[in-house]
Amino acid sequence: MFKDLLNSITGVEIWPLIGLFIFVGVFLGVIIWIFRLDKGLIQRMKNLPLESDSTIKNGD
């Protein structure tokens, strides 16, 4: 049923490629963003679960 419906639409074969390119672009963008993050920010975020509430509120 779905196969017949999709075969009747002209130009439908391009949409999976467009979706793949968008996914790969976003994925690569996130990977590049992660590698360019400040190492100090990563350390601060890594230690957040171990800090007390008063330290977080004071910003120390």
Residues 6+ apart with CB under 8 A from 12: 6
Biggest CA-to-CA distance, the chain: 63
For residue 11, is it within any domain?
no
C-alpha span between 16 and 3 (Å, rounded):
15
Query: What confidence score (pLDDT) does residue 60 get?
Result: 54
Number of domains making up the chain: 1
For residue 37, is it within any domain?
yes
C-alpha span between 44 and 39 (Å, rounded):
9
> If pLDDT is split at 50, 70 and 90, which confidence band does 5 have?
confident
pLDDT, one tens digit per residue, over 6-51 is 778 777 788 889 999 999 999 999 999 999 999 998 888 888 888 7
Question: For the whole model, what pTM was predicted?
Answer: 0.59
* Spacing of C-alpha 25 from chain mean position: 10
Q: Which domain holds residue 38?
A: 25-49
Query: What confidence score (pLDDT) does residue 58 get?
Result: 61
For residue 40, is it within any domain?
yes
Q: How many helices (H) and strands (E) does the chain have?
A: 4, 0
